[in-house]
Amino acid sequence: MIVDAHQHYWQPSRGDYGWLKDAPESLRRPFLPPELHAQRKAAGVKHTVLVQAAPTEEETRFLFELARHDGAVAGVVGWVDMEGDDVGARIDALIRDGGGLLCGLRPMAQDIADPDWLANPSLDRAFDCIQDCGLTFDALATMTQLPALLRRLRRHPHLNVVLDHAGKPAIGDGRFDQWTSWIDELAQHPQLHCKLSGLLTLLHEPVDQDAIEPYVADLFAHFGPERLMWGSDWPVLTTHADFGQWLDMALTLTERYAPGSQPDVFAANAVGFYALDIDLAAQDARAERTP
């Protein structure tokens, strides 16, 4: 069974996806559940984690509504105003409105100009609340922001954090050393996990498995199969590959660098990290009984 640890839906007419104006034209349209259902079923993906794509709490509530009509969604990673004086009350309201769906929070740090924002002491209260509420934190950060993330990990050593898209290495430019040195430091923090996601869209055309393989190998070397989780990053993925193509590539590379670990990387790690209400053993047993 496969759990997609990172996918999106969006409806541009809502008006709060500011980043889309600079995105490839193919992404500037609605991407909603009916379009993904067939692809997900064909790929054998049973459950997903739906991740915010707009910096508003209203969009998080929009995702809750979509999730209630999409039985595959096991959890939602939302957005909250982390700099608000009432951040604790805002998080409590999202937890209440999510009715068990909210599993984590993600600011869109990559779009914030200040490279030190994640380490800003003004965010301490927000991170305390995230931790106290038993939520996780998705770090959507660029390489220039990884030093600040490292300082945040030192300040909140018990916060459950996952690095989205491997910290966005400069794969398209062939740069490796700076990224891997930061990954080496970040991986020393046992509460930090990492998503095996978003790598293909960092490439210039055409898609080339050989180009991402050194980065995937380095992720397994640093985090091991116990702290990596696969995500499709659909529909951003569609600018470079289809759902099944990326899944097959990731399965192949995982078997190459961590033989026998696919059940962890493609399901168990996401279920454990996000505390998803999924009984993997029961579902595997049912699958074995199905002719």
| Residue 178 tokens, joined | 């700076």
- Cα(107)–Cα(127) distance, rounded to whole angstroms? 11
Biggest distance spanned by C-alpha atoms of the chain? 56
Q: What type of residue sits at position 71?
A: G
Tell me the whole-structure pTM to 2 decimals: 0.95
Q: Can you give the residue ranges of every domain in the chain?
A: 2-289
pLDDT on residue 283: 67
Sign of the CA dihedral 89, 65, 140, 269?
positive
pLDDT on residue 288: 54
Per-residue pLDDT of the chain (291 residues; tens, 9 = 90+): 999 999 999 999 999 999 999 999 999 999 999 999 999 999 999 999 999 999 999 999 999 999 999 999 999 999 999 999 999 999 999 999 999 999 999 999 999 999 999 999 999 999 999 999 999 999 999 999 999 999 999 999 999 999 999 999 999 887 788 899 999 999 999 999 999 999 999 998 778 899 999 999 999 999 999 999 999 999 999 999 999 999 999 999 999 999 999 999 999 999 999 999 998 877 665 655 555
Q: Which letter, b or e, does each residue of 131-168 get, where b requires 16 or more Cβ atoms within 10 Å of its Cβ?
A: eeeebbbbbbbbbebbbbbbebbeebeebbbbbbbbbb
What lies within 8 Å, CB to CB, of 99 at 6+ separation is 64
What lies within 8 Å, CB to CB, of 21 at 6+ separation is 28
**CA-derived radius of gyration, the chain:** 18
Q: Which fold has domain 2-289?
A: TIM Barrel (3.20.20)
